[in-house]
């Protein structure tokens, strides 16, 4: 398997003398398997140069698979310049997470509306197919491709591509689920010792991979003021990849404010941190033009997931009960969920919530941890004690991001644990992930 980086920048293209080495084009990675199949991860501005290269190869007809992690600007901006889509006889299969109430095709058509671009998506001569994804295992371009939701203020999936006896994993854009990575009562450095279910699932998704390409936009110092923006630090990536037994990590989605020297310093810090972990993890900062050939090192352990390919959730109307004793927070959450076309009901205390659930079981409960009287944890315990509500998905909202509270939440059986302050897009994508997961079982 061959991997080539065409764009390594996050947020916005940043050309200029300061970024010559690591590159100024936004996210785009080309994966070519031994059988000649091409999988393109994201189509940021880097996709233009890739398209030029493909055209120069002069093949009569080309087939491309484009896998979008999500449809933020810096990941789709190169798509209208992907010239193979302008050639009749070519085919382009496009994959990406289903949008919030809008299919992937419509999202891509949006940036090619006449106001923004002269060629309409419908006018492209190539045969284009669209595939909306949730979590599961798929076959794309002859490769086994697993998808899993990431933590980002938009529905975003990570990809694990297994072919030619190797596994490469693409995890851009993503931020830690929890401030604390490790449980206090377990030895750090092992997947089982990871505190938050989300981070543990993330580690398992990359386990044993030959290459992990991971968002590492911020330094740990910068991250303090950029929480909820949906990006990681090299510190998180190195720790989690070392625990997951990853062979090599490429840090990417470089911040537009970081010049070559700054990124070289990040690389140094990341390497010395990896050395401390002594798992043999090789880490570097991805640069434009970097090409890697992945060779099998041992029998590949295929990724196993409980999830089969899941039914799309966009078409269904879900019922969500929101329980919070703060009227402002309650109103804000209800508005956000109603805008996503969920049927929302509310309660302002635990006993009322239990009564409502008893009368009519919702699809999801969004539950505040700290409430006067019966708190969220007491509601959880009551729900899990009853067979009828043992499986009810519960997303717990809390200002308590400390290790004991997070642990108590998961031990009580919450499905997800979201700490305040959160952004609305972050909340709605976590709600969607909860619903998509629980609908499959």
Q: How far is the CB of 22 from Zn ion (least distance, A)?
A: 15
Q: How far is the CB of 111 from Zn ion (least distance, A)?
A: 14
Buried b (16+ CB within 10 A) or exposed e, 213-227: bbbbbbbeeebeeeb
Residue 74 vs 255, nearer CB to Zn ion? 74
Q: Residue from 72, 200, 258, 430 that binds Zn ion (CB under 5 A)?
A: 72
Pick the piece of the chain touching Zn ion (CB under 5 A) from 33-41, 81-89, 172-180, 421-429: 172-180
Contact assessment for residue 135 and residue 106, using Cβ atoms and an 8 Å cutoff: no
Q: How far is the CB of 120 from Zn ion (least distance, A)?
A: 25
Residue 142 vs 425, nearer CB to Zn ion? 425
Q: How far is the CB of 290 from Zn ion (least distance, A)?
A: 19
Token pair of 110 as six digits? 């949006």
Determine the size of the site formed for Zn ion (CB under 5 A). 4
**74 near Zn ion (CB under 5 A):** yes
Three-state secondary structure call for residue 66? strand
β-sheet bridge partners, residue 66: 40, 94
Q: How far is the CB of 236 from Zn ion (least distance, A)?
A: 16
Token pair of 43 as six digits? 């189509």
Contact assessment for residue 77 and residue 69, using Cβ atoms and an 8 Å cutoff: no
Q: How far is the CB of 253 from Zn ion (least distance, A)?
A: 6
Residue 54 vs 172, nearer CB to Zn ion? 172
Residue 217 vs 419, nearer CB to Zn ion? 217
Q: How far is the CB of 137 from Zn ion (least distance, A)?
A: 24
Rounded to whole angstroms, the Cα distance separating 129 from 122 reads 12
Pick the piece of the chain touching Zn ion (CB under 5 A) from 72-80, 90-98, 108-116, 162-170: 72-80
Pick the piece of the chain touching Zn ion (CB under 5 A) from 4-12, 15-23, 183-191, 365-373: 4-12
Rounded to whole angstroms, the Cα distance separating 144 from 73 reads 27
Q: How far is the CB of 266 from Zn ion (least distance, A)?
A: 17
Rounded to whole angstroms, the Cα distance separating 62 from 386 reads 57
Residue nearest to Zn ion (CB): 72
The DSSP result for 99-119, as a single string, is PSSS-HHHHHHHTTSTTT-SS
Q: How far is the CB of 189 from Zn ion (least distance, A)?
A: 29
Pick the piece of the chain touching Zn ion (CB under 5 A) from 89-97, 167-175, 344-352, 413-421: 167-175
Residue 214 vs 247, nearer CB to Zn ion? 214
The DSSP result for 314-358, as a single string, is TTS--EEEEE-S-HHHHHHHHHHHHHTT-EEEEESSHHHHHHHHH
Residue 232 vs 419, nearer CB to Zn ion? 232
Residue 74 vs 135, nearer CB to Zn ion? 74
The DSSP result for 298-318, as a single string, is S-------S--SPPPSTTS--
Q: Which of residues 341-400 bind Zn ion (CB under 5 A)?
A: none
Q: How far is the CB of 355 from Zn ion (least distance, A)?
A: 40
Rg of the chain in Å (alpha carbons): 22
Residue 141 vs 176, nearer CB to Zn ion? 176
Q: Which of residues 243-262 bind Zn ion (CB under 5 A)?
A: none
Q: Tell me, what DSSP letter sits at residue 83?
A: G
296's torsion region: left (phi>0), alpha (psi -120 to 50) or beta? beta
Pick the piece of the chain touching Zn ion (CB under 5 A) from 3-11, 54-62, 132-140, 413-421: 3-11
Alpha helices in 149-293 (DSSP H): 197-206, 220-223, 234-243, 260-277
Pick the piece of the chain touching Zn ion (CB under 5 A) from 103-111, 168-176, 257-265, 363-371: 168-176
Binding site for Zn ion (CB under 5 A): 10, 72, 74, 173
């Amino acid at each position: 398997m061959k991997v080539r980086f065409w764009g390594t920048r996050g947020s916005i293209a940043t050309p200029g003398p300061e970024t010559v080495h690591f590159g100024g084009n936004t996210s785009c990675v080309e994966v070519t398997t031994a059988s000649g199949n091409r999988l393109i991860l994201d189509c940021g501005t880097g996709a233009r140069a890739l398209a030029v290269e493909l055209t120069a190869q002069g093949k009569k007809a080309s087939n491309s698979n484009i896998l979008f992690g999500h449809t933020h600007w810096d990941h789709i901006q190169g798509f209208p310049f992907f010239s193979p889509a302008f050639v009749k006889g070519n085919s382009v299969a496009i994959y990406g997470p289903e949008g919030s109430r809008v299919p992937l095709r419509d999202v891509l058509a949006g940036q090619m509306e006449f106001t923004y671009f002269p060629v309409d998506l419908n006018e492209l001569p190539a045969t284009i197919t669209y595939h909306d994804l949730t979590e599961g295992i798929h076959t794309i371009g002859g490769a086994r491709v697993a998808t899993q939701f990431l933590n980002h203020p938009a529905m975003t999936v990570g990809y694990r591509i297994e072919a030619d006896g190797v596994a490469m994993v693409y995890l851009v854009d993503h931020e830690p689920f929890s401030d604390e990575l490790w449980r206090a009562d377990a030895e750090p450095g092992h997947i089982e010792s990871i505190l938050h279910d989300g981070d543990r699932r993330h580690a398992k998704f990359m386990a044993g991979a030959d290459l992990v390409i991971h968002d590492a936009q911020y330094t740990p110092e910068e991250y303090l003021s950029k929480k909820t923006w949906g990006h990681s630090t090299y510190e998180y990536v190195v720790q989690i990849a070392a625990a997951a037994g990853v062979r090599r990590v490429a840090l990417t989605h470089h911040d537009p404010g970081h010049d070559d020297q700054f990124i070289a310093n990040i690389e140094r810090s990341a390497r010395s941190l990896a050395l401390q972990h002594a798992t043999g993890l090789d880490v570097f900062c991805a640069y434009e033009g970097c090409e890697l050939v992945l060779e099998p090192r041992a029998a590949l352990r295929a990724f196993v997931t409980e999830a089969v390919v899941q039914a799309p959730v966009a078409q269904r109307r879900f019922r969500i009960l929101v329980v919070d004793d703060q009227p402002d927070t309650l109103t804000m959450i209800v508005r956000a969920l109603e805008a996503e076309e969920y049927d929302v009901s509310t309660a302002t205390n635990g006993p009322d919530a239990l009564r409502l659930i008893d009368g009519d079981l919702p699809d999801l409960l969004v539950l505040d941890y700290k409430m006067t009287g019966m708190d969220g944890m007491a509601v959880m315990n009551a729900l899990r004690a009853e067979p009828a509500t043992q499986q009810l998905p519960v997303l717990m909202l809390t200002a308590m991001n400390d290790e004991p509270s997070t642990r108590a939440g998961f031990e009580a059986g919450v499905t997800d644990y979201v700490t305040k302050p959160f952004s609305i897009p972050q909340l709605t994508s976590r709600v969607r992930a909860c619903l998509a997961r629980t609908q499959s079982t």
